[in-house]
Amino acid sequence: MLKVDAQNGRLAGKIAVISGAGSQGDGIGIGKAVSLLFAQHGARLCLIDMIHDRAEDTRRRVAEIGGDAFICAGDVTDDAFCECAVAETVKRFGRVDLLVNNVGIVGPTGRLDALDMDLWDRVIDVNLRSALLMARHAIPAMQAGGKGAIVNISSIAGIRAHGSLAYGPSKAALSHLSAELAVLYGPDGIRVNAVVPGHIHTPMTAGLLSQEARDIRCRVSPLDSEGDGWDVAFAVLFLASDEARFVTGQQIIVDGGVTATGPMVAVQLANR
């Protein structure tokens, strides 16, 4: 990583709130990559994570490159916590310009007769409700400054079925929520977009996928590879920056071309 460019970076002077800013272990997940990239480009950060130590590792890395960040540890499905995190950011930095909603859990698999409704509710809360609550409190702070940008991290599971009754629907709803917020708050100078990752290797997926499954993911991609947290973070950086001033209500798919590939072609690629 380069050092922070607080004067000439693409986010110079911006204040950003990033949820899910930690990563499991020493790896670089999406939230950590976004945090480091934002800091490198001059943003000051509020790092939100359920687990303080994970956020602390991100904060330490931000500090190593000369960035400025503080931690709010808590549950973004709790309205009071979301309100507190935004208020603390305004207290420390004076305003909020950017919000990245990155938290997410996978949830139950299987058919309806085996569905745990409490777990289904938890997936909807974490993947969808949290973004709504964070936006609910961040938007007034953005309105006070005259403009802002929100980027929600969705998934290609919200575009194509992946055999999950909760995860895919929650991400589809998150993408549509992004469009609804874009229409509602565009007149206030607030842009809202979604980044839609697919086949991204992160510390979270590392614990879920076998090497065989990862090999198949590479083969079915036209680019013959998986992506990583940095690939997603660069798309988020663009949408958060003033370079995307005329982009709102959109989805940027970061999946190596997987969703552009028809099923017959995918089978041929997998067997090459």
CATH of the domain at 81: 3.40.50.720
Tell whether 211 is covered by a domain.
Answer: no
CA distances from 84 to 4, 97, 183, 268 (A): 27, 16, 26, 51
Tell whether 5 is covered by a domain.
Answer: no
- Whether 185 is catalytic is no
Tell whether 170 is covered by a domain.
Answer: yes
Tell whether 9 is covered by a domain.
Answer: no
For 115-137, b/e burial (b = at least 16 CB within 10 A) is eeeeebebbbbbbbbbbbbbbeb
Checking if the pLDDT of 266 tops 70, the result is: no
Which member of 33, 167, 204, 253 is catalytic?
167
Cα–Cα distance measured from residue 76 to residue 254, given in angstroms and rounded to the nearest whole number: 25
Q: Which helix (H) or strand (E) holds 142?
A: helix 130-145
Alpha helices in 7-71 (DSSP H): 30-40, 52-64
pLDDT at 264: 67
Give the domain extent around 161.
15-206+227-259
The model's confidence at residue 263, banded by pLDDT at 50, 70 and 90, is confident
Tell whether 219 is covered by a domain.
Answer: no
Amino acid at 240: A
Tell whether 24 is covered by a domain.
Answer: yes
Number of domains in the chain: 1
Tell whether 267 is covered by a domain.
Answer: no
The lowest-confidence range among 169-173, 183-187, 219-223 is 219-223
Which tens digits make up the pLDDT trace of 191-216? Answer: 999 999 999 988 877 777 778 878 77
Tell whether 243 is covered by a domain.
Answer: yes
CA distances from 114 to 104, 110, 119, 157 (A): 22, 6, 11, 20
pTM: 0.94
CA dihedral 101, 151, 94, 246 (to 10 degrees): -170
